[in-house]
């Protein structure tokens, strides 16, 4: 079957297309045959060039060579059917809701007028534009999941396409038909026609893969991914395009790692006496995982190249103790250390803990947040002279400068993003620690390290990284894993309950409050919203005050003034208040061992990893703790999320489940990684291809670190473009 449209004979070929396709960076506005309003819509959709449109891959395919028969009952899998519209109807109900309904009559698969026995109803609620698109007598292709609604078999909100009796019918029917992601003003049918026209004139293109890896020529793979002749051809094309995308990603990751390794650095590691003194005063022994991670970090700090390491582990696995041990090694070597936290609450909690632990050791700690500057009067310091002494390795000069400044500047600085923007001087920064790294963009992380020539960098996350992502999202970092929990942690029992069980949950909470325990009640919103059917913390606060009296409740959310947040948290730590009605502002870092109960309302509104993070606020002491998930989950995904949380408290298992449920998109966000987003690859399904791409990129850089060989110049150009794109995404 030819994939060329009937209108693409040689005499009708557009010269603009042929000329432009030699340069995939040609802008769509320069084609000449795309109307300007459509070009503007495509640009708003992020499609600006020929390459953008040609790599706008289908999200699924419909085998329109032979449609499904009309179902006789509901099915778990979606069906793709084709039929004639024999009736339309629209009505309003419940005062404001709008319903548009279409009755389809099954017809023969060859498109003839032969009427078969099947009928089905399609319904759209509050989607007014559909009424303008569908009329009686039209032929529709419909994709969706049939459901019984009384005695009627219905597909609600199906995807649909009107079959037009035009010259391009062969593009849309009687083939494996691509369904491209569409947007307002741009339908999947339009995209299919435009992409088909571009592909008809596509010349030979250089392969984005090194020799020997590609199974088919690049242009052929692009044609087959959009308009495959059969499923085997589609699979071959997808394999090549996924491998090409992964290879480009791994070039980016391996190049970033090579840059870090080649940067000149200093040893920021003291002999370890401070660390030993700190660990002796801890009321608990280190876990084996903590000791192993500290050893890995210590080796990096001692090396003359910059450390670039991530520390990840489950909630409560003791990352803070590991990070503080690293900071003490840097302090003992005569340098400053800084830790940047995503919220003021977490920064102040770190500050209080550090002061408690380090004042007996004579270590000076300062706090820098947007609203607070503890010990903010810094002595005058000759930063230029210090940097010169560091570069020249002049230890005597460094000691003299420290003595001249009074020697009382903070050795450890704790802060929020204020460390970036408040003009804080960190002339001797030897170690930068970024806590909850996913809350910061790559450019913010880079800004923290501007204070010194080349500080060591340790980033931490309490969201365990699935193994399938360690070579993508953090492929440029060394990884330390905390896969053990301290032995003294209390067990957390998780129970998912539908909203009708809320009164029982309240009685359960009252019982434990009467025993002297404390609790959190968490909501997805601060205030009620017309756009989201979910309860809100501020609106529910008074109800909780009344139902839990005489126990004191307080409200905590992100819009409360910082000073008031501090006071609220301090009262809760002292058990002067017993219940915090809160939003996700408590998601990270809050540590109150006596708080052993958490109730999360509208739990279905939260992500799986976020629910696990929230749950980690209880179980901080030796007491048994409870997390109650009140939900209205009525989808398979929502129910699976609740079951997963009930079944396991292992953060690594939850991270894998979260990746399966959400896909890698959120975790591969450019704000977190600096990586361009994936268009076709799936890091879960295509792990072997990712490993092949990584090995190939490493071998390429090992043989040609500058990508200067003639056959590698195209990869150097591609890498430069990817870096530019990544910076554009995070700017």
The model's pLDDT over 581-622, given as tens digits with 9 standing for 90+, comes to 998 888 766 788 899 999 999 998 888 888 998 998 898 877
CA neighbor of 601 nearest in space, from 537, 522, 675: 522
CA distance 556 to 573: 14
pLDDT of residue 676: 61
CA distance 178 to 168: 14
Task: Place 168 in a pLDDT band, splitting at 50, 70 and 90.
Answer: low
For residue 142, what are the β-bridge partners? 81, 160
Token output for 630? 């009140």
DSSP class per residue in 191-251: HHHHHHHHHHT------SS-TTT-SS-HHHHHHHHHS-SSHHHHHHHHHHHHHHHHHHHHH
- Is the per-residue pLDDT at 560 higher than 70? yes
Tell me the Cα Rg of the chain. Answer: 30
Residues 6+ apart with CB under 8 A from 339: 323, 327, 350, 412, 413, 414, 415, 433, 434, 435
Label residue 32 exposed, middle or buried (CB < 10 Å: 0-12, 13-18, 19+): exposed
Half-sphere exposure of 707 (CA within 13 A, CB side): 19
pLDDT of residue 2: 28
Cβ atoms of residues 528 and 537 within 8 Å: no
Per-residue pLDDT averaged across 512-541, rounded? 82
Label residue 649 exposed, middle or buried (CB < 10 Å: 0-12, 13-18, 19+): buried
Token output for 30? 């320069």
Cβ atoms of residues 87 and 102 within 8 Å: yes
Query: Would you identify the CATH topology of the domain 63-179?
Result: OB fold (Dihydrolipoamide Acetyltransferase, E2P) (2.40.50)
Per-residue pLDDT averaged across 485-494, rounded? 81
Half-sphere exposure of 153 (CA within 13 A, CB side): 15
CA distance 723 to 14: 34
| pLDDT tens, residue by residue, 353-376 | 899 899 888 899 998 876 555 654
Per-residue pLDDT averaged across 560-567, rounded? 84
Task: Place 21 in a pLDDT band, splitting at 50, 70 and 90.
Answer: very low
Token output for 198? 């571009």
pLDDT of residue 9: 35
Half-sphere exposure of 588 (CA within 13 A, CB side): 22
| Mean of all residue pLDDT scores within the chain | 82
Per-residue pLDDT averaged across 714-721, rounded? 83
pLDDT of residue 531: 57
- Is the per-residue pLDDT at 103 higher than 90? yes
pLDDT of residue 630: 93
Buried residues in 173-211 as b, exposed as e (16+ CB within 10 A): bebbbbbbebeeebebbebbbbbbbbbbbbeebebbbee
Token output for 171? 């593009």
* Sequence-ordered alpha helix ranges (H) in 92-227: 129-133, 169-172, 188-200, 218-226
Provide CATH 2.40.50.140 ranges for the chain.
63-179
Pick the more confident residue, 205 or 408.
205
pLDDT of residue 661: 78
Task: Place 559 in a pLDDT band, splitting at 50, 70 and 90.
Answer: confident
- Is the per-residue pLDDT at 381 higher than 50? no
CA distance 646 to 633: 14
Yes or no: is domain 492-649 CATH 3.40.50.10860? Answer: no
Q: Are strands 97-107 and 115-125 parallel, antiparallel or unpaired?
A: antiparallel
Pick the more confident residue, 406 or 547.
547
Neighbours of 564 (CB within 10 A): 12
Neighbours of 624 (CB within 10 A): 13
CA distance 154 to 141: 15
Provide CATH 3.40.50.300 ranges for the chain.
273-482, 492-649
Q: Hey, is 159 helix, strand or coil?
A: strand
Q: Hey, is 279 helix, strand or coil?
A: helix
Report the alpha-carbon angle 561-450-731, nearest 5. Answer: 70
CA neighbor of 164 nearest in space, from 144, 193, 129, 186: 193
CA neighbor of 179 nearest in space, from 170, 171, 188, 187: 188
CA distances from 726 to 23, 167, 457, 672, 675 (A): 21, 42, 21, 11, 6
Class of domain 273-482: alpha beta
> Helix 636-647 and helix 651-662: axis angle, to 10°?
170
The H helix count followed by the E strand count for the chain is 25, 23
CA distance 289 to 282: 16
pLDDT of residue 660: 77
- Which residue is listed with tokens 């002061």? 355
DSSP 8-state symbol, 363: -
| pLDDT tens, residue by residue, 675-713 | 667 889 887 788 899 889 989 999 998 899 888 999 888
CA distance 624 to 618: 9
| pLDDT tens, residue by residue, 432-447 | 898 875 555 555 556 6
For residue 119, what are the β-bridge partners? 105
CA distance 500 to 505: 10
Task: Place 6 in a pLDDT band, splitting at 50, 70 and 90.
Answer: very low
- Is the per-residue pLDDT at 200 higher than 50? yes
Label residue 696 exposed, middle or buried (CB < 10 Å: 0-12, 13-18, 19+): buried
For residue 373, what are the β-bridge partners? 368
Sign of CA dihedral 33, 36, 38, 44: positive
CA distance 302 to 503: 57
CA 441, chain centre distance (Å): 12
Per-residue pLDDT averaged across 312-326, rounded? 89
pLDDT of residue 546: 93
């Amino acid at each position: 079957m030819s994939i060329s449209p009937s209108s693409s004979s040689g005499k009708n070929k557009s010269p603009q297309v042929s000329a432009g396709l030699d340069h995939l960076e040609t802008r769509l506005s320069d084609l000449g045959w795309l109307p300007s309003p459509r070009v503007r819509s495509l640009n708003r959709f992020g499609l600006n060039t020929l390459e953008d449109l040609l790599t706008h891959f289908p999200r699924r395919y419909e085998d329109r060579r032979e449609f499904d028969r009309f179902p006789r009952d509901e099915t778990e899998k979606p069906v793709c059917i084709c039929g004639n519209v024999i009736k339309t109807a629209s009505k309003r109900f419940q005062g404001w809701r709008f319903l548009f309904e279409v009755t389809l009559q099954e017809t023969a698969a060859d498109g003839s007028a032969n009427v078969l026995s099947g009928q089905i109803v399609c319904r759209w609620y509050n989607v007014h534009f559909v009424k303008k698109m569908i009329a009686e007598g039209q032929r529709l292709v419909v994709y969706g999941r049939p459901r019984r609604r009384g005695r009627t078999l219905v597909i609600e909100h199906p995807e649909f396409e009107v079959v037009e009796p035009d010259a391009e019918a062969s593009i849309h029917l009687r083939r494996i038909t691509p369904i491209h992601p569409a947007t307002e003003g741009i339908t999947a049918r339009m995209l299919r026609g435009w992409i088909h026209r571009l592909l008809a004139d596509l010349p030979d293109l250089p392969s984005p893969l090194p020799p020997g890896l590609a199974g088919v020529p690049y242009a052929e793979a692009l044609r087959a991914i959009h308009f495959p002749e059969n499923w085997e051809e589609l699979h071959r094309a997808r394999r090549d395009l996924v491998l090409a995308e992964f290879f480009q990603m791994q070039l980016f990751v391996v190049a970033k790692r090579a840059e870090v390794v080649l940067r000149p650095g200093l040893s920021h590691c003291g002999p370890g006496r401070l660390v030993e003194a700190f660990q002796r005063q801890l009321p608990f022994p280190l876990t084996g995982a903590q000791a192993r991670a500290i050893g890995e970090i210590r080796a990096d700090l001692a090396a003359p190249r910059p450390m670039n390491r991530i520390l990840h582990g489950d909630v409560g696995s003791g990352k803070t103790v590991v990070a503080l041990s690293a900071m003490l090694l840097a302090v003992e070597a005569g340098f400053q250390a800084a830790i940047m936290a995503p919220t003021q609450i977490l920064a102040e909690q770190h500050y209080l803990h550090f002061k408690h632990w380090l004042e007996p050791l004579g270590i000076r700690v300062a706090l820098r947040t947007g609203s607070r500057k503890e010990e903010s009067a810094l002595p005058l310091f000759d930063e230029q002279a210090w940097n010169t002494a560091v570069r020249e390795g002049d230890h005597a000069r460094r000691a003299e400068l420290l003595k001249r400044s009074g020697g009382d500047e903070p050795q450890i600085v704790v802060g929020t993003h204020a460390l970036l923007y408040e003009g804080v001087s960190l002339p001797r920064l030897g170690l930068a620690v970024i806590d909850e790294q996913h809350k910061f963009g790559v450019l913010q992380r880079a800004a923290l390290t501007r204070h010194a020539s080349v500080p060591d960098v340790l980033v931490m996350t309490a969201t365990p990284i699935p193994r399938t992502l360690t070579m993508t999202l953090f492929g440029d970092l060394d990884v330390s894993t905390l896969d053990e929990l301290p032995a003294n942690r209390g067990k957390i029992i998780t129970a998912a309950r539908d909203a009708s069980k809320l009164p029982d949950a309240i009685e359960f909470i009252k019982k434990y409050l009467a025993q002297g325990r404390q609790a959190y009640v968490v909501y997805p919103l601060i205030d009620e919203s017309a756009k989201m059917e979910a309860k809100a913390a501020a609106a529910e606060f008074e109800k909780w005050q009344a139902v839990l009296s005489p126990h004191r409740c307080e409200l905590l959310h992100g819009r409360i003034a910082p000073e008031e947040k501090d006071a609220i948290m301090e009262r809760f730590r002292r058990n002067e208040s017993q219940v915090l009605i809160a939003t996700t502002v408590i998601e990270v870092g809050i540590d109150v061992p006596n708080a052993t109960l958490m109730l999360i309302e509208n739990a279905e509104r939260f992500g799986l990893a976020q629910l696990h993070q929230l749950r980690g606020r209880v179980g901080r002491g030796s007491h048994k703790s409870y997390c109650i998930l009140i939900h209205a989950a009525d989808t398979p995904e929502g129910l699976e999320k609740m079951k997963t949380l009930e079944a396991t408290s292992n953060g690594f298992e939850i991270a894998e489940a979260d990746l399966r449920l959400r896909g890698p998109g959120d975790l591969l966000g450019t704000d977190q990684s600096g990586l361009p987003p994936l268009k076709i690859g799936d890091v879960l399904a295509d792990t072997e291809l990712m490993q092949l791409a990584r090995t190939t990129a490493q071998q390429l850089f090992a043989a040609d670190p500058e990508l200067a060989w003639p056959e590698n110049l195209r990869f150097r150009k591609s890498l430069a473009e990817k870096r530019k794109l990544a910076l554009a995404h995070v700017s």
